[in-house]
Amino acid sequence: MRISTMGMFRQGLNSMQELQSLAARTQEQIATGRRILSPSDDPVSASRALKLRDSLSRFDQFDRNSNMATSRLQDEEVALKGVNDVLQRVRELALQANNATQSSESRSMIAIEMRQHLDELVRLANQKDGNGRFLFAGNLDETTPVVVSAGSYAYNGDQGQRQIQIGETRSVADSDSGADVFFQIRQGNGTFVVDTPLTNTGSGVVGNGSVVDPSQYDGAPYTVRFIDPANYEVLDASNAVIAAGGYSPGESIGFRGIEFSIKGSPAAGDEFVASASRQQDVFTSVQQLIAAVETSSNDEVSRAEMNNGINRGLENIDQAIGRILTVRTQVGTRLTAIENQADANDGFALTLHEMIGELEDLDYAEALSRLSFELGVLEAAQQSFVRTQSLSLFNFLR
């Protein structure tokens, strides 16, 4: 078998190129800190690392979602705090106006301030987030939720809540519907309300009512009609008498599981109608309260009408404040849930990074040792190549 000089040259050159390639690959591994430079280096580990990186990208998205939901919920919390502050101020003004020492002029000034707060309520209900989207419009966040037309208030949004995924199996709502926050508030004490017809001629003023036996209350309307200033009867919807009793100012009147007190002196024929609470928007409640404050109070009958109107309005405002407190609690719960989930996501992401590192990260000690060996082999091969190439048959001819 004959081996040409050119063949030996090419064989030696190819060997050195292979050794150089191995050393260069090891140097690149050391420079990047990665054991796997291409999927062909370790197909199984590369495939597992790719799946882990896909999972890691989902956690990055969850993190972005959490930040977006947190920002929007914080904007909502600020708006709801403003609503609560306005309602508390309206309540203070109503109590001030309900004082017998107030004059018609002072009540008129109180009503002016209350109207300013009513406008502020509408502005807060139409508050936008940092991206210019309405907070309380549901899914229709580009539509103004609360509009005023001819003194009445309407809701233009929907009752949807956008669910934002913040974890593999967890989502949170990033807002609350304005219908739920502002328009679905029950009147009175939340169960029933006592109205006084304008035809009353006495000075009876209804106080707060309560349900003392829920099992007896059926939600039907009942009328307390005074036979004379000291006696009354209770009529059902068909005008059948279901109860009767004597009246002393300030004492409670009870029937069918409910009771309420009446102060003052009702006249014969005066009526007080107890009916199940209906839903009413907070803007109309404030508007009705303003109208009650502006009621003329020149005599006992008109003062009783004003007092009854303000008392009913205060009950409605208390229900609205309670609703705002409930929604703020829900917002706070969601913010806490986002924070807890973000902490859990960080833990999961850290574990994924560690798993990816175990698959891809380089063992520097092993790599440096291997590089030293490869460079030594390469140097020996280069020296051998030089010596081999210096040999020739002509050196042995005489």
Q: Are 277 and 187 in contact (CB under 8 A)?
A: yes
**In the predicted structure, residue 20 carries a pLDDT above the cut 90:** no
Residue from 37, 12, 105, 86 nearest 293 by CA = 105
| Average of per-residue pLDDT values in the chain | 85
Please report which residue ranges of 273-362 form alpha helices under DSSP H.
Answer: 282-293, 300-360
% the chain with pLDDT above 70:
75
Q: List, for residues 248-261, the tens digit of each pLDDT value.
A: 998 899 999 999 99
Identify the pLDDT of residue 348.
Answer: 77
Q: Count how many residues are written for the chain.
A: 398
Q: Are 185 and 320 in contact (CB under 8 A)?
A: yes
pLDDT band at 247 (very low <50, low <70, confident <90, very high): very high
Mean pLDDT of 29-46: 59
Q: List, for residues 259-275, the tens digit of each pLDDT value.
A: 999 999 999 999 999 99
Structure tokens at 343: 């902490």
Q: Are 247 and 266 in contact (CB under 8 A)?
A: yes
Domain 54-187+316-348 has CATH 2.60.40.10: no
Determine the Cα–Cα distance for residues 370 and 364; give it in Å rounded to an integer. Answer: 10
Range in 48-52, 53-57, 62-66, 381-385 the model is least confident about: 381-385
**In the predicted structure, residue 123 carries a pLDDT above the cut 70:** yes
Which one is predicted more confidently, 221 or 383? Answer: 221
Q: Backbone phi, then psi, for 205, in 5-degree steps?
A: -120, 125
Q: Where are the beta strands (DSSP E) in the chain?
A: 146-149, 152-155, 163-167, 170-173, 185-186, 192-195, 205-211, 222-228, 231-235, 241-246, 252-255, 258-263, 271-276, 279-280
Which one is predicted more confidently, 256 or 49? Answer: 256
Residue from 95, 276, 254 nearest 195 by CA = 276
Domain ranges in the chain are 5-33+362-396, 54-187+316-348, 192-276
